[in-house]
Amino acid sequence: MMVYDMVTSAAENQELLSKVDDVAAELRDLLEKSVKKNLTKDMLFSGGIDTSILATIVTKDVRIRGFTCAFKEANALDIKYAKLMAKRLNIEHYMNPFGEKEVYEAIPDVVKVLDSFDPMEVRNSITINIGLRFAKTYGSTKLITGDGADELFAGYHMYYKHVGNKEKLTAMLKKMWSIMAFSAGTLGKNLGIEVKQPFLDPEVQKFAMTMDPRYNVQEERGEVWGKWILRKAYEDVLPPEVRWRDKNPIEVGSGTTILPRYLAKKISDSDFAAKKKKILETDNVTIRDKEQLIYYEAYREAVGVPHAKDPDARTCPQCNSNVADNAVVCRTCGAYPIAAGGRSITNENAYADDK
């Protein structure tokens, strides 16, 4: 059971909610303008609230070609919602149920382009890379993604327990904004595809960063929701099952969340132990699990052994790469915290201690 630390009084929250229509209207206006500036007919389409909002706006001007990818070995949640919204918005919808072969083909590209063997980053970006390649086979050179909505409008579960706590939400969001990064643009550039990200428009970012953060996390229907203001801004156009869809990271929606278990079956315990020991001895790199081993072997072949480009700057004790002074996660290997005993960053433990 989640314990909340709400500090907003009922009267104060009522006053806050009395202005929600105006706040929502301003957000809609800014998103409409941003989509117009980034207008293109193609979209990586998950059927989640973020891409569904953008698709609702885009369809006012052009018919969308939506590209949805899902790991066919898993129960990918995106399929159901993407089909629902594609039918509702008359989207020209293309599904790509990818398998193990496509996963292994994507890994070298992802680790090289992103300069990372962080399991969560690679796991999420495999789907993006496959989606971009899939869209390219249909001639796509520009496409829209929903990047930035979760980071700007508190979509992640770690915010929920702070519903009503303006000070805490502000601090956590500021930290997120200082480190947020998105792989789609980098992966797209590598493939010759221009990635459009309407939520990251400067005016939308400014609005999100100056808005009272309590509009992002609110209780409704007996539950606490992130991105609440986005849900309210488009409650008249999104069906309830999409409007009140829980936040699912890319890996969950697309099914690549099963890759740690799936890939672990490909390596015996004895082989893993031997390779882990050898890599530590020869490369001075700590390998935490079998999934990461697969990514690291691809990384070592494509990029080389990780090392500090500036030995006088802060480095990660698990992979020797430089890390920013304010970083809590190593972007190269995914160590969290950045310490000898750090675990892999996951959707469950991400920033759980709110350091």
354 has a pLDDT exceeding 50: no
Q: What is the CATH number of domain 10-257?
A: 3.40.50.620
Residue 300 has pLDDT above 70, yes or no: yes
d(CA 110, CA 82): 25
Best CA proximity match to 275, nearest among 252, 259, 293: 293
Mean pLDDT of 278-297: 98
pTM of the model: 0.93
Strands 223-225 and 218-220: antiparallel
Q: What is the pLDDT of residues 224-250, one digit of tens each?
A: 999 999 999 999 999 999 999 988 889
pLDDT of residue 350: 58
Domain spans in the chain, listed from the N-terminal domain onward? 10-257, 266-344
Residue ranges of the alpha helices (H) in 226-314? 228-233, 240-243, 250-254, 259-264, 269-283, 290-302
